[in-house]
Structure 1
């Protein structure tokens, strides 16, 4: 039959498109991808009430290790829905699932929806002025990767903005408990704008190639885009370390060159007393 990969948008259970909802209601199995993003804190039970269908939460292990058996194989004979927060084509995980399904002859249909890629434009920065999108992973004691740094530098040298997608940790194994013979998972963690700013500063201090300036480069923090509590705050990297944007999900933008119209809108979101407002004009100091 068919595997439907359906975008849920950014808000709540009601942000699914009419076509997406009709398809979900027609499916025998409905899976909710639950590790690359979250849907505004909406519970599985609330989705089930709205869709009128049972929903199977698909964590990383299920999608990466058991998808053939649990998702793709049933889709050979039945209608199966795979629900994705945002838009289905904005993560390589979902592309991989589509490829695997098509390789074994399963028909795949994609239903698009709003994603952070488009919602980022709400801060006033024009979408066609963005360069490569980067992901910022959590640093830990042993792993502090900076592979995002050269991409940001490349974007900035071309005058382009950089959208940074921030790490989330869901259903991460507790290795201390596992060493004692118990299978337990750590509490979910969602990277904040504050942590992202700290790690970006650390990367600049470590590499030191001037990709951005902690005191001058304008940055924008985004939180809960598409939801009633959506928040946008602009300022320098140093200022955003202390900005309070509330709960998840957060995203981060490092600005390139700013057009007059972009600057006019972004200034509405500047932290009061920002040094950028005081010291910079439309030509962002690189």
Structure 2
């Protein structure tokens, strides 16, 4: 059996009891942390609490030809991932490949930012549209390239009065901040002639699941100057607000009354 075990939002204590039992009883334990990270812990702390040594898999070992997966034909193998195992298409692809190879699989779900963000912000979970990732800019032939995909996702959701959860890029040990994401979105919107986008309501969440979590609502242009502290960060762009959502953003995220008045349904 190949077990996909979610580790939750922030540190080694976020794993479920069911997940912990599987990790402790598995014949082999692997982990990958390039799709997401547990920022409140370390490999050493994970191993000490779980009572197991684990091998950290690289991106090629997950997305290429995963030779390690063959072990699951005859043994119980646990793959540990931050958040919930099936939020990432990388892990879904791996599970489907395992099934096609005739290997049994089982998923142990855990808390993740997609399920936590509505509770943190007070925004209703059924009013979130499609999410997107804000990637770091890249350079092609000396030209700086920005992805318009997150901006397009936001605008599509706004046209239907839906909220947008934006994941922020992780790349080579770099963690995009809410400030950087806001700068990118505003630069893309300015390029589209959407001058009012910078004043749109936004909510930044930093270190979800931790005791020093930070959540702040304000105009997007204001959030790019706010100090959210260490990663991981995500950004929410709300659509129109139910009166309870507006109240929640005021109380939970410090949104100014005058800013919210233009967004209530």
Q: Identify the TM-score tier after normalising by the shorter chain.
A: over 0.9
Spell out the pairing of 1:88-167 with structure 2 (5 A cutoff): 88-121=85-118, 122-142=120-140, 143-167=145-169
Aligned-residue offset at 1:60? 1.2
Question: How far has the Cα of 1:152 moved from its partner?
Answer: 1.2
Contact 1:218 1:284 in 2 (8 A): no
C-alpha separation in 1, matches of 2:10 and 2:224: 26
CA offsets 1:240-263 (integer angstroms, 9 cap, x no match): 011111111000000100111001
Any gaps of 5 or more consecutive residues in structure 2?
Answer: none
After superposition, residues 46-61 of structure 1 pair within 5 angstroms as 46-61=45-60
Whole-Å separation in 1 of the counterparts to 2:128 and 2:152 = 15
Residue 211 (structure 2) aligns with: 228
**In the aligned structure 1, how far is the partner of 2:63 from the partner of 2:226?**
36
1:149 Cα deviation from its structure 2 partner: 2.2
Q: Cα gap change, 1:77/1:239 in structure 2, threshold over 3 Å: closer, same or farther?
A: same
Instruction: Supply the distance in 2 between the matched residues of 1:40 and 1:150 (Cα, whole angstroms).
Output: 29
**TM superposition shift of 1:278:** 3.0
* 1:284 Cα deviation after fit: 5.7
Q: Does 1:190 align with 2:167?
A: no
2:203 paired with 1:201: no
Work out which of the residue numbers 196, 210, 213 in structure 1 matches 2:197: 213
Scaled by the length of structure 1, the TM-score of the pair is 0.86
Q: Which residue does 1:264 correspond to in 2?
A: 247
How many aligned residue pairs are there?
A: 260
Q: How far, CA to CA, are the matches of 1:161 and 1:223 in structure 2?
A: 18
C-alpha displacement of 1:227: 1.1
Asked if residue 281 in structure 1 is aligned to residue 235 in structure 2, the reply is: no
Partners of 1:264 and 1:130 in 2: how far apart? Answer: 18
Q: What CA deviation, in whole Å up to 9, does each residue of 1:104-161 have, x standing for no partner?
A: 0000000001000111011111111110011110113333221222221110000000
CA apart distance, 1:80:
0.5
